[in-house]
């Protein structure tokens, strides 16, 4: 769901602070200024032309830049979702992730952040399903989603009321899943911004 350009963004475009075309850099500027809702609109607006270019792949045209730009916009949206969760704005975190996973279905980070928001909104069953589904996906060469989920839960404990699902997932993840005894938890060698 792409929203129309808010008046605040239109004013900044007319003041020469932002460009009138969709630009990830503009979203970053808005985000740095604390204008997170407007940054989300810009990042989503960046996805539309990328998808149009990617749709032409079937005709034999390829555009790696479009793929990179779309992936960057989705990573920025994922980062905003994390910020919204940490700020206690769980509905905004859900809104940020709405539709984004469909564009990047193999991105655990979008789903993990969505699960955190769902859990803190009291939608534990849906959050549990996401945590368990993405548990063993690789985030980097040395790290699975499980590690990122556990890091996230630990950080959430510091700033938000404890939810029973936090304890459940931490306990469940401390034991390797059935049939996966060889994959015991190992030290995190690279910190990923969960």
Looking at the structure, do residues 163 and 84 belong to the same domain, yes or no? no
Q: Rounded to an integer, what distance in angstroms lies between the CA atom of residue 124 and that of residue 113? A: 13
Is the pLDDT at 132 greater than 80? The verdict is yes
Residue 1 included in any domain: no
Instruction: For residues 74 and 147, state if they share a domain.
Output: no
In a domain, residue 2? The reply is no
Helices (H), ranges, the chain: 7-14, 24-32, 36-55, 64-86, 90-97, 100-103, 108-120, 124-134, 145-159, 164-173
58-67, 69-78, 82-91: range with lowest mean pLDDT: 58-67
- pLDDT for the residue 131: 96
Domain annotation covers residue 70:
yes
Residue 3 domain flag: no
The pLDDT tens digits for 101-118 are 677 777 899 999 999 999
Residue 186: pLDDT above 50? no
pTM beyond 0.85, yes or no: no
Domain range for 125 is 108-194
């Amino acid at each position: 769901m792409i929203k129309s350009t808010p008046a605040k963004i239109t004013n900044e475009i007319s003041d020469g602070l932002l460009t009138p075309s969709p630009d990830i850099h503009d979203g970053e500027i808005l985000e740095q200024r604390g204008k997170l809702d407007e940054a989300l609109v810009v990042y989503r607006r960046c996805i539309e032309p990328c998808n149009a270019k990617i749709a032409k792949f079937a005709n034999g045209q390829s555009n790696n830049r479009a793929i990179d730009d779309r992936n960057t916009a989705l990573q920025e949206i994922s980062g905003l979702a994390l910020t919204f969760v940490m700020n206690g704005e769980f509905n905004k975190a859900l809104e940020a992730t709405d539709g984004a996973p469909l564009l990047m279905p193999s991105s655990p980070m979008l789903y993990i952040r969505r699960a955190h928001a769902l859990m803190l909104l009291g939608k534990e069953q849906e959050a549990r399903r996401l945590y368990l589904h993405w548990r063993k996906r690789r985030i980097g060469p040395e790290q699975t989603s499980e590690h990122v989920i556990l890091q996230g839960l630990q950080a959430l404990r510091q700033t938000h009321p404890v939810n029973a699902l936090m304890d459940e997932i931490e306990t469940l993840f401390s034991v390797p899943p059935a049939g996966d005894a060889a994959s015991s938890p190992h030290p995190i060698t690279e910190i990923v911004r969960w």
